[in-house]
Chain A
Amino acid sequence: MVIDQPFSAAGAQTPPPRSAVTEGRATRVALTVIALLFLAVFLVLPLVIVFLQAFANGVGAYFAALTEPDAVAAIQLTLLVAAIAVPLNLAFGVAAAWAVAKFEFKGKAFLTTLIDLPFSVSPVISGLVYVLLFGSQSLLGPWLAAHGVQILFAVPGIVLATIFVTFPFVARELIPLMEEQGTADEEAALSLGASGWQTFLRVTLPNVKWGLLYGVLLCNARAMGEFGAVSVVSGHIRGLTNTMPLQVEILYNEYNFAGAFAVASLLALLALVTLIIKTILEFRYGDALSGSTGH
């Protein structure tokens, strides 16, 4: 058992004979073609169809659909919601990652599971929880109504539902990354007289900045594209509580396909930009992102 150690170490250096550890050429080509065809049908075609349909009535109709007042209101609302939800989840993600990754405490694994919880809840249920909490039949409902606070069917409800569904993104990127980096850098900074904030801003943050950007990117894409949860709490009031995905649904159900796909094309563009930045980050800073696992 011990004797074969040097041999296996040397064996790893020489390239293995290809025929023994890979399939025949025909099998390789066939498997590659099947996989690529599957991806083409299931991933590429839907993306292509979005842009084709968006421009089906010409470029003029496309821009007319996007500058229509309800579409503009939907775009503005989507940007507003993301501008509130993403920074809040960013603050939470950083705080949770600091507590979980830099300290050892009881129940840590349980806390990490709880942070991931929103991912295993149906988007519709994510919206339902707030309807039950703030609706007119709830405990809080009458009090809110008496004080003139509107949460459901208004912007606060949409923001809350969006925060719920995008809750884990930043934290789950940062936790494995910061755990892997350990605490030696921070301890060194502290022993040299840096304050806690200085240590965080000058030592920890630069170490995790690409992972942080990655998490924010995914969080933002989901925040702008969330449909189910927002649909339940929004009340679908045109020009007021319709985000872009809801606007897509309304236009589509009215058989205004070109209009629906025009708004959808903006969301698809956002998805593409997200994927491109994500790929660049992984390609350039793969090491600085390791510890994070997809998603």
Chain B
Amino acid sequence: MATALAHAGWRFRRPSVIPGFGLTFGFSIAYLSLIVLIPLAGVVWRSASLGWPEFWRIASDPRTLGALKMSFGGALAAALVNIVFGTLVAWVLVRYRFPGKRIVDAMVDLPFALPTAVAGIALTTLYAPNGWIGGLLAPLGIKVAYTPLGIIVAMVFIGLPFVVRTVQPVMEEIDREVEEAAATLGARRAQTVRRVILPGLAPAILTGFALAFARAVGEYGSVIFIAGNIPYVSEIAPLLIVIRLEEYNYAAATAIATVMLAISFAMLFVINLIQAWSRRRYGYGH
């Protein structure tokens, strides 16, 4: 393929002495197509075959809208909580010294490693009215489990490491001399943090926000136990897909999935843009 294209003066691949491009590239593309691309294209194709009026009828159904609002609204709230506490955790881990820091650092990845169903039942037990935390909040009139608040708690849990792990490496690379310069020029510490450090961290925080948001929108396992799953109130979009599938209503399941996929891919695109922009502007980013 490469040699054939080379004649046109446009090269698909730069020549190299290293062997195995055809084999590894071919295998990768075949595997990617079979496992990911063709099945995903199937969803879009099925959705297209519904026709626009039918698609719109399902997508604008009040229960669908309620579920989408819950998923996206909850994810937004959770991602906002996470950028505040995630940045704080990253700051404490990078700048301060305290006993057991290495263990705390490792624990941050727990939500990546802990299966979502396990996190779901553990959080529900904690936040139920008779649970450790739920019991403390109940006298204050705050109900967490089986309400939208519980959904946000679960989404905060699964999104936290995304913010910490995107902000932390960038924080480690901050040049201390910039802070010294600000201090010599008479800035108070709070001014230095707000005007010098935070703007430099903004692209990383934004990326962390987008990643945590994207993950929380699609989250299922950790949410369904604590959510209560009341239609129009605390029902998330992935659960509604499952419910429609169990009713053999494939059209509705496909339409909701297509809306979610479209928004997720738009998010992915935005994340890539932020990263490209921060690489150009600040010379880092992943």
Interface residues of A (CB under 8 A from B): 8, 11-12, 16, 20-24, 28, 31-32, 34-36, 38-39, 41-47, 49-50, 53, 91-92, 94-96, 98-100, 102-106, 111, 113-118, 120-125, 128-133, 135, 137-138, 160, 163-164, 167, 183, 186-187, 190-191, 196, 199-200, 218, 221, 224-228, 231-232, 244-246, 248-249, 252, 257, 260-261, 264, 267-268, 270-272, 274-276, 278-279, 283, 293-295
| Chain A residues near B11 (CB-CB < 8 A) | 106
For chain B, the count of residues having a C-beta within 8 Å of the partner chain is 100
| Chain A residues near B149 (CB-CB < 8 A) | none
Q: How far is the CB of B113 from chain A (nearest CB, A)?
A: 4
A34 pairs with B88, CB closer than 8 A: yes
B96 pairs with A31, CB closer than 8 A: yes
B148 within 8 A of A: no
B122 pairs with A35, CB closer than 8 A: no
B110 pairs with A275, CB closer than 8 A: yes
Q: How far is the CB of A93 from chain B (nearest CB, A)?
A: 9
Q: How far is the CB of A232 from chain B (nearest CB, A)?
A: 6
| Chain A residues near B217 (CB-CB < 8 A) | 122
In whole angstroms, how far apart are the Cα atoms of A136 and B220 in the complex?
A: 25
Q: How far is the CB of A87 from chain B (nearest CB, A)?
A: 13
B241 within 8 A of A: yes
B107 pairs with A115, CB closer than 8 A: no
| Chain A residues near B35 (CB-CB < 8 A) | 160, 163-164, 167
Q: How far is the CB of A71 from chain B (nearest CB, A)?
A: 14
B3 within 8 A of A: no
B115 pairs with A267, CB closer than 8 A: yes
Q: Which residues 64-120 of B sit at the A interface, judged by CB distance below 8 A? A: 85, 88-89, 91-93, 95-96, 98, 102, 104-119
B160 pairs with A20, CB closer than 8 A: no
| Chain B residues near A227 (CB-CB < 8 A) | 115-117, 220-221
B36 within 8 A of A: yes
B225 within 8 A of A: yes
B195 within 8 A of A: no
Q: A20-B179, A102-B18 are in contact. Are A122 and B238 (CB under 8 A)?
A: yes
A124 pairs with B39, CB closer than 8 A: no
Interface string of B21-38 (1 = CB under 8 A from A): 101110110011001111
In whole angstroms, how far apart are the Cα atoms of A272 and B14 in the complex?
A: 44
Partner of B108, one of A43, A104, A218, A246: A43
B24 pairs with A96, CB closer than 8 A: yes
| Chain B residues near A116 (CB-CB < 8 A) | 268
B235 within 8 A of A: no
Q: A132-B250, A196-B20, A275-B110 are in contact. Are A252 and B225 (CB under 8 A)?
A: yes
Q: How far is the CB of A243 from chain B (nearest CB, A)?
A: 10
In whole angstroms, how far apart are the Cα atoms of A135 and B137 in the complex?
A: 46
Partner of B92, one of A35, A45, A135, A264: A35
